[in-house]
Homo-oligomer: A and B are copies of this chain.
Amino acid sequence: MTEETEQAVPDEERDEDDAYSLQRKDVAAILYAVDIGDREKLVALMEPLHAADIADLLEQINAFDRMRLIKLYGKEFDGDILSELDESIREEVINALHPEVLAEAVRELESDDVVDLLEDLDEAQQEAILEVLDNSDRVAVEKSLTYPEFSAGRLMQREVVMAPEHWNVGEAIDYLRNTEDLPEQFYHIVLVDPKLRPVGNVTLGRLMASRREVLLRSLISETFHVIPVTRDEGEVAYAFNQYHLISAPVVDENERLVGVITIDDAMAVLDEEHEEDILRLAGVGEESRLSDTVLETTKQRFPWLAVNLLTAVLASLVIAQFETAIAQVVALAVLMPIVASMGGNAGTQALTVAVRALATKDLTGSNVWRVIRREVMVGLVNGLVFALVMGLVGLFWFGSAQLGGVIAAAMVINLVVAGLAGIVIPVVLERLKVDPALASGAFVTTVTDVVGFFAFLGLAVLVLL
């Protein structure tokens, strides 16, 4: 919490453990200022807030208040707020801004932020924004947009601080002092060979601590990772996390330096990738946002529910094969959801671990067979334990040892199958280049439902009738 933001609410009312500046009281005060149309008050209340917090505020309030706030706030509207805004309401906000305010806001931004802003807009809006940029900025932005979406080329800054590999510390320092427009934030100098290929990084800390005559070459960091401009941004974020990179040079197909990616951008991508994974696993469109309307949300969730309906109907078809048995022994209808439900849960457990391990590259060709064996064994052990429990439930609830035996056997079978399906299905999907987070859930539940009902009812017919 910065000293400034603390002005908004007195210290004693804040939660010490909360890193977040935007409190409910602040939101209420701001909305009140909007209600009474008090521009001065609104600006005073917004002033201590970070652009990220203002963006959150705009996402949390409803569309009507959002429009009124933007109108009242007027020319104070900052380019950074646009960058921080969620894509789902960015378009709406851009349309609400006065063209002059928008132009001013966009001109403040660095070129990589403008690219990020433009990506999700329709062509007319893109044109409108590109028009207000300086010539050189516009060229830079247009060049970035030629790289594939979600690639390193879109993520990188084009401004790189570089030095020839034969320079010494003194030459580098003099160069830095005499360069007018250094990037806002940079942490390394990239050493390049005569063909502009990056050969190493020198941290600014090391540069400052060394004597002028020391060669830059002798100061390069151990950790150095070059990123092809076409690499997927998810892979870039992974590399930053795995190898503890702070910044990494980006190269084109000729291995020439074209930009640099810094860890803060990589962290934002990591966060987005996680969000996607978690939402996909739950069958929620990965574009899902809290500020989405009922209609948008319904549309995002519909496909997965439709797939689930097919799965459920498939399971019902299995049950329908055993109508006669159920009519004779109604206890089967009472107990059968237990077997299916346990299988579904065990399958989801194995599946989630597998999807996560694939994403972090912990599950590889080297250990996949061992992990499959493990999942089957885990299913077997848990299956045996719950078979015992359910066997006893069957025995004492319905007074039938045979029924207990049937549900016990079905439980073991379904938990073993669940473990197997939970690991094999995501691995196969990954090999087929289908995102396992997106598709595994439906397959695994289908398997555990069908196997669960079939094993239980099938065994019941064999044993009980």
In the complex the two chains form, is B304's CB within 8 Å of A316's CB?
no
Using A315-B337, A333-B333 as known contacts, list a sample of 11 further A-B pairs with CB atoms less than 8 Å apart, ordered by residue number in A: A16-B230, A24-B365, A52-B243, A204-B205, A208-B208, A290-B353, A298-B378, A304-B345, A326-B330, A330-B333, A337-B453
Q: Report how many residues on chain A are interfacial, defined by Cβ distance under 8 Å.
A: 141
**How many copies of the polypeptide does the oligomer hold?**
2
Check B342 against A298 for contact (C-beta < 8 Å).
no
Shortest CB distance A85–B (Å)? 12
The reply to whether the CB of A1 lies closer than 8 angstroms to some CB of chain B is yes
| Stretch from A68-76, A99-107, A117-125, A176-184 that touches the partner | A176-184
State whether A301 touches B374 (Cβ < 8 A): no
Known: A2-B224, A204-B187, A312-B342. Contact between A19 and B182, CB under 8 A?
no
Q: Are B304 and A226 closer than 8 Å at their CB atoms?
A: no
* A20: B residues at CB distance < 8 A: 238-239, 242, 361
Contact B378 A243 (CB under 8 A): no
Kindly state whether residue A218 has any CB partner on chain B within 8 Å.
no
A-B contacts, 13 listed (Cβ < 8 Å) = A19-B227, A56-B361, A56-B362, A61-B367, A161-B205, A282-B352, A282-B353, A294-B374, A302-B385, A305-B349, A316-B337, A319-B333, A323-B333
A positions within 8 Å CB-CB of B: 1-3, 16-20, 22, 24, 27-28, 50, 52-53, 56, 59-62, 161, 173, 176-177, 179, 182-183, 185-187, 203-205, 207-209, 211, 223-228, 230-232, 235-236, 238-246, 263-264, 266-268, 270-271, 274-275, 277-279, 281-284, 288, 290, 292-295, 297-298, 301-302, 304-306, 308-309, 311-313, 315-316, 319-320, 323, 326-327, 330-338, 340-342, 345-346, 348-349, 351-353, 356-357, 360-367, 370-371, 374, 377-378, 381-382, 385-386, 389-390, 393, 449, 453
Q: Which of B187, B211, B283, B348 contacts A282 (CB 8 A)?
A: B348
Partner of A348, one of B173, B283, B338: B283
Given contacts A50-B243, A204-B204, A333-B326, contact A352 B186 (CB under 8 A): no
